Amino acid sequence: MKISILTNEYPPNVYGGAGVHVEYLTRELAALDDGAHEVEVLCFGEQEEEHGNLTVRGVEPDFELPHQDERHAKFMDAMARDLIMAGSIEDADIVHGHTWYSHLAGCLAKQLTGGKLVLTTHSLEPHRPWKAEQLGTAYQGSSWVERTAYENADGVVAVSGSMKEDVQSLYDVAAERVEVIHNGIDVEQYRPRPDASVLESYGVDPEQPYVLFVGRITRQKGILHLVEAIHHFDPDIQVVLCAGAPDTEEIGEEMEARVENARSQTDNPIVWLAEMLPREDVITMYTHADVFVCPSVYEPFGIINLEAMACETPVVASAVGGIPEIVVPNETGLLVDVDPTEGETVEPKDPEGFARRLADGVNALMADADRRTAMGTAARKRVEEQFSWRSIAEQTLDFYKTLLD
């Protein structure tokens, strides 16, 4: 079959889980059935690649649409790229969109080509009201695009059972049109890779135990709550924050203020790496970390936890979204209750209580090396058995065939 994948993120422009998902899914789809399927990726950027039956074409307009609010620029840019994407697809059996950035292109391509429209629920706009800080009133535009796409989709891939419930309740998508297919991970690439010199090159002390965070500076990822939790960490714990790409200038400034406050009020060494690290270096960071922390207040799946677990690192994570489908409490890590505000997913009811619960989980594991080792071994085994990308690509292709039949 001819499969057109529409996405904002694709290497080298990857900043979140959706980009990781698309990178590995397309590679494995192209390899199925001895390369019998034509896989075309249209993405935001300048990419121009061809790998046998997998082609990648970046879309970059040479014009700028007018806008009245500077926060609207990103939305208008996405709409321009979507129009170009929709007109670039010659024919397709399946048009598969990832995130609202590419959903308008998917809706139009469905009409223009007659292909079946598939969407993957990496996140949903109604559960991310803080995006209004970034987009202004264009957040209403992104929400409308997303709703329209789900109303027109032939099939929906939910990356967790929690996301299936969300897409049904928010957009009234019929249950038979939604298939739960988890995210995955390359277990050969993500595995323990110790190298103390990598840590030293980033200012991390390889001799001192450390807790690790990897992710964007966004309210969704709960990074600000983690920084507050440092005040309650045992004092000998080193903290490494691989945190960059702030959603807005304001949240970036808030992050800086909170980190400086934590540094001035605690004895814990804090290493904040604001740049995006090469993947191999991140894997080494996972490998040496004693505990990985995922403090998300909203997380459709949480692929970052799989990455840490594949490197035999136990996880302390929020019990939200799809994370409980990954982390097994007291076996591969610990889950922490967020207790979100009723009707909201931006803040816990008691932020101080959430920060203390995060710290309690971290302190408990950091105090017990044998427990960490057992959890790390179990975590790696779980990832190997449940979350390989080849299996996920096969499930996705089966779903395509069902829709075409």
Q: Where are the alpha helices (DSSP H) in 15-137?
A: 17-31, 73-88, 103-113, 131-135
Q: Give the β-pairing of 48-51 and 54-59.
A: antiparallel
Residue pair 50/58 in contact by the 8 Å Cβ criterion: no
The pLDDT tens digits of the residues spanning 274-322 come to 998 999 999 999 999 999 999 999 888 888 999 999 999 999 999 998 9
Q: Which tokens go with 308?
A: 């840490």
Same fold, 2-184+388-404 and 196-386: yes
Does residue 131 have a pLDDT over 90?
no
- pTM for this structure? 0.78
- Among 12-21, 89-98, 172-181, 266-275, name the one with the lowest average pLDDT: 12-21
The pLDDT tens digits of the residues spanning 21-70 come to 999 999 999 999 999 999 999 999 999 999 999 999 999 999 999 999 99
Beta partners for residue 59, in sequence order: 44
In this prediction, residue 134 has a pLDDT band, given cuts at 50, 70 and 90, of: confident
Q: Fill in the DSSP letter of residue 122.
A: S
User: What's domain 2-184+388-404's superfamily in CATH?
Assistant: Glycogen Phosphorylase B; (3.40.50.2000)
DSSP element (H, E) containing 42: strand 38-44
The pLDDT tens digits of the residues spanning 149-205 come to 999 999 999 998 989 999 999 999 999 999 999 989 999 999 999 999 999 999 999
Does residue 89 have a pLDDT over 80?
yes
Cα 70 to Cα 50, 65, 143, 146: the distances in Å are: 36, 12, 18, 22
Does residue 105 have a pLDDT over 80?
yes
- Residue ranges of domains in the chain: 2-184+388-404, 196-386
Q: What pLDDT shows up at residue 17?
A: 81
Q: Which tokens go with 252?
A: 């970036």
What is 196-386's CATH number?
3.40.50.2000
Q: What pLDDT shows up at residue 251?
A: 93
The pLDDT tens digits of the residues spanning 324-376 come to 999 999 999 999 999 877 654 567 989 999 999 999 999 999 999 999 999 99
**364 Cβ neighbours under 8 A, 6+ residues apart:** 334
Tell me the average pLDDT of the chain.
95
**Of all residues in the chain, what percent carry a pLDDT higher than 90?**
86
